[in-house]
Structure 1
Amino acid sequence: MNVIQRLKAIGPGAMVAAAFIGPGTVTTASVTGARLGYALLWTIAFSIVATIVLQEMSARLGLVSGEGLGEALRNRFDNPLVEYVSIFLVVGAIGIGTAAYEAGNILGGAAGLATITGVSSTVWGVVMGLVAGALLFTGKYKLIERALVGLVIVMALSFVASAVLIGPDLGAIAVGFVPGIPDGSLYLITGLIGTTIVGYNLFLHASNVQERWSGPADISESRTDTILSIAVGGFITITIMVTAAAAFPTGTEISDVGQMAQQLEPLAGPYAKIFFSIGLFAAGFTSATTAPLAGAWATTGALGWDSDLKSPKFRAVWGVILAVGVLSVLLGGSPVQIIVFAQVVNGVLLPIVAIFLIYAMNQTDLLGEFTNGRVANALGAIVTLIVVWLGLRTLLSVAGVV
């Protein structure tokens, strides 16, 4: 496969990257860079490898079985009680989780536009919700995919430009990829991993590859798409942390990402502020589009409904998730509180989904010759143990134990 063919394969994986580089990731990477400098760049590198491992499995499951992850979860168990509990977890956790993320996505993207234009983020939040709804309502997968890929490119260029303008220390960047855990950094490490490895993206990927490709023969293209797209997503996250690390003295506390965009102006001129704000908008809008899609595919698959993009029930699910986000804007929700709540939901759900995914990837009646090999299982087990640790830490943090 030559370079042109590899680039043409980009699509479903880019939607996954668009989904995890939302305002939550921008906020967490910015806060980490300002507080600890370049020290946790290694965490992003690890997170990207772990995300590629799980997302490749999810995409392979979708292409070989022809099922979404929600459908596979519903069809794997003969025990009615286990089946109903599984459906409840998917519909409840994914539905609530994507709705919570949606509110943070719209509020974050609107903050980027408000910084550039001076127009209220409430106005921009409603506009973003309407535009995202119109795009999804077309039911045209190729149009949705191209729009999101285009915005990922805009996001990458914007954040890279802001990083270049701020002038980072290249030597310090290299040192940042050497693993280490500075005092008080465990919470931020958990946050960085949790904003990158997102449970609902596994549902999104298993379904969207079926819209792009037709079966096992396309696994190679799908794998290329997954690796390249998620690597680009990780690079974008790195540029955000680098920008914050270069812009502020180590130990600086940032209360919100909109504040960071404003503070870049006196340090690197107005263009840095504009580029960062455009990137923040693109991050918010792409995530505001992919979260409802993921929630709709997960819910319709788990309930056995038609998962066609134009089906009434599919549209109803993403419509409710999108409406929750817009309503949060109108009610003046706090982006920070909403993003934290979404992280808690993800922390609880992700271990369950990851464990089931490993289980499903070893079922020969489902995948035949395309089941996991030893290396894939070993990597999956390591990643799963880490996300279980993240889930437990999230629950303990909420309970006030840690």
Structure 2
Amino acid sequence: MRGNWRNYIGPGPLVAAAFIGPGTVTVCTLAGVNFGFDLLWALALSMVATVVLQEMAARIGLVTQKGLTEVIGETLTKGIVRYFSLGLILLAIVLGNAAYEAGNISGGAMGIEIFIKAPVLTIGQASINMINLSIGLIALVLLMTGNYKLIEKYLIALVILMSITFLVTAVMVRPSMLAIFQGFVPGVDSGNILTIVALIGTTVVPYNLFLHSSLVSKKWKSGKDLKFVRVDTIVAVVLGGLVSMAIVITGASGNADAINNAVDLALGLEPLLGAAAKYFIGFGLFAAGITSAITAPLAGAFVVAGCFGWSTDIKNWTMRVSILAILGLGLVFSSFGIKPVQLITFAQLANGILLPLLSAYILWVINKASVMGKYRNSLGFNVLGLAIWVITLVLGIRSIMRVLEGI
């Protein structure tokens, strides 16, 4: 039956699972600790930007029945422009996802380590945390099943539980509603610019744009299904945005001064939540870590396959090798002894800087009549998309200048 509610459930939960990762938990907590409720407006902006960009990426996948990378490769002029662009996308997404995967694995391990202390295996200069290894193996086993429906069901369950955890925590700290409303008044200065870019980067995740377009083409087969795509996208992004706001509210309401691990997060909430604090933070971080640890390699593999014209069937050996490579790099990066919070925060900042480039690609493709036909952007969508691109570009440039000043 065409009106069946199942038609409205697509890759949205995977998109939410991807951007509600340890990076979201960490960056949003730091935003709350350092700036209170003042940056809630940045998350509201991020939600709007995410809905617009993800809808365009999904629409490209629906109409072309191909992933975003494949479409870009086919529509770019042959020659140096094509190879430079695809090479840049490949380098940025694959290496970025490997670094992001390290943050996902380390962040998930932070959640578990609040309850147990895992043994560390030392090999030369590298120290391998056995919890990190376990999370990586769990993600790998699930991905190697090659069963999208199984992955989707698993992620939906975890995302729902994780969302409830953070939303309940935000309610339990009893924040001031007036202060929350005041947090939606925009304000940018030299002190908060890096955090604003990181908040945008943790919500509008570049690799999600590629993941979404590829998965939409596998779920729906006709432009007539656009209404299902849009509902699935909006519900997932709004839910994710509310969870992010709940984390900011929780961080602002706690008493933590310095955040380096999950114990610090939990200790800052103990005066408000008591012993329950560690359970909320521990489970939330673990769920965020393992869900994102599954989606990051999958998205990176779609990009690799699209760049080289390989099959995007998850059971194909090229997809599996790509998944294994990104997961393996993530495990290696997470073994260098870098503090997880530093690693995650850096990955989010990098995402915020990369976003203008990737969104420009999408705006270009979505307006090609030869590709999109009657489903190309309307004037209103283009104005909104261009405004979002300009905002992310300005914030990215300012963040780069800020980093260079500190060198």
What's 1:66 paired with? 65
RMSD: 2.2
Structure 1: unaligned runs, 5 residues or longer = none
Shift of 1:193: 1.1
Paired amino acid for 1:172: A
Contact 1:63 1:209 in 2 (8 A): yes
2:115 match: secondary structure: helix
Any idea what the Cα deviations from partners look like across 1:333-374, whole Å, max 9, x if unmatched? 332332244235424432121111001001111111000000
Structure 2: unaligned runs, 5 residues or longer = 121-128
Contact 2:194 2:399 in 1 (8 A): no
From 387, 395, 407, the counterpart of 1:390: 395
Instruction: Say if 2:217 is the partner of 1:218.
Output: no
TM-score, normalised with respect to structure 1: 0.93
2:348 match: secondary structure: helix
From 283, 288, 295, the counterpart of 1:278: 283
Going from structure 1 to structure 2, the CA distance change for 1:39 and 1:292 (only over 3 Å counts) comes to: same
- What is the rounded CA distance, in whole Å, between the counterparts of 2:307 and 2:281 in structure 1? 38
Any idea what the Cα deviations from partners look like across 1:310-335, whole Å, max 9, x if unmatched? 11111111111111122233443332
What's 1:35 paired with? 34
1:79 match: secondary structure: coil
What's 1:305 paired with? 310
Any idea what the Cα deviations from partners look like across 1:21-52, whole Å, max 9, x if unmatched? 11111111101111111111111111001100
Contact 1:98 1:292 in 2 (8 A): yes
Going from structure 1 to structure 2, the CA distance change for 1:266 and 1:7 (only over 3 Å counts) comes to: farther
From 245, 253, 257, the counterpart of 2:252: 245
- What is the rounded CA distance, in whole Å, between the counterparts of 2:353 and 2:38 in structure 1? 27
Paired amino acid for 2:209: L
Going from structure 1 to structure 2, the CA distance change for 1:349 and 1:66 (only over 3 Å counts) comes to: same
What's 2:45 paired with? 46
- What is the rounded CA distance, in whole Å, between the counterparts of 1:46 and 1:7 in structure 2? 29
- What is the rounded CA distance, in whole Å, between the counterparts of 1:111 and 1:53 in structure 2? 33
2:98 match: secondary structure: helix
Contact 1:126 1:329 in 2 (8 A): no
What's 1:228 paired with? 235
TM-score, normalised with respect to structure 2: 0.92
What's 1:93 paired with? 92
Higher mean C-alpha deviation, range 202-211 or range 9-18: 9-18
Higher mean C-alpha deviation, range 14-23 or range 326-335: 326-335
Paired amino acid for 1:70: T
What's 2:322 paired with? 317
Contact 2:57 2:212 in 1 (8 A): yes
Instruction: Say if 2:352 is the partner of 1:352.
Output: no
Going from structure 1 to structure 2, the CA distance change for 1:155 and 1:99 (only over 3 Å counts) comes to: same
Contact 2:26 2:345 in 1 (8 A): no
Going from structure 1 to structure 2, the CA distance change for 1:7 and 1:386 (only over 3 Å counts) comes to: farther
The percentage of counterpart residues that share the same residue type is 43
- What is the rounded CA distance, in whole Å, between the counterparts of 2:384 and 2:265 in structure 1? 36
What's 1:287 paired with? 292
- What is the rounded CA distance, in whole Å, between the counterparts of 2:325 and 2:402 in structure 1? 30
- What is the rounded CA distance, in whole Å, between the counterparts of 2:380 and 2:265 in structure 1? 42
What's 1:12 paired with? 11
- What is the rounded CA distance, in whole Å, between the counterparts of 1:6 and 1:189 in structure 2? 36
Higher mean C-alpha deviation, range 4-13 or range 300-309: 4-13
Instruction: Say if 2:380 is the partner of 1:375.
Output: yes
